[in-house]
Amino acid sequence: MKRTWTIIGVRDVPGSFKWYQSLFGQREARPGHDYFGQIVDTDGTVLLCLHQWGAHEHPTLTSADNATPGNGLLLFFRVDDYDNALERALALVTRLEEEPHVNPNTRTREFSLRDPDGYYVTISALS
């Protein structure tokens, strides 16, 4: 099996780490480092990596000033607790980017919101 590790640049790794744990309904934990953390599912699958802007010399993670965070990227997560995820999301943001609806392509319920760094995050029900 092959897996990808999606890594996004963030201003505050511990803060973003806590935000994503809240969104996914995970118990609170600290990232491995102040500059890097992995959001991991209960089976050990890495769901998302958070990397502090400019912490290392990765050419595409030097600064949020060089590009709009999320440009060309859609973070799309399938969840098995959609209704609970929606409640958690509403507690994290003042408004959703896309209200709950049924996606005509996937025929699943979904909604979208922005994370603290402005990334567009879509949550889709796992049927």
Nearest to 61 by CA among 4, 12, 7: 7
**Domains within the chain, CATH numbers bracketed:** 7-125 (3.10.180.10)
Q: Are strands 98-102 and 109-114 parallel, antiparallel or unpaired?
A: antiparallel
* Percentage of residues of the chain with pLDDT beyond 70: 99
> For position 3, what pLDDT does the model report?
82
pLDDT digits (tens, 9 = 90+) for 33-82: 999 999 999 999 999 999 999 888 888 888 888 877 788 889 999 999 99
CA distances from residue 22 to 14, 68, 95, 124, 126 in whole angstroms, order as listed: 12, 24, 16, 16, 19
Amino acid making up residue 97 = E
Tell me, what's the pLDDT at 1? 66
Closest to 33 measured CA to CA, from 66, 62, 56: 56
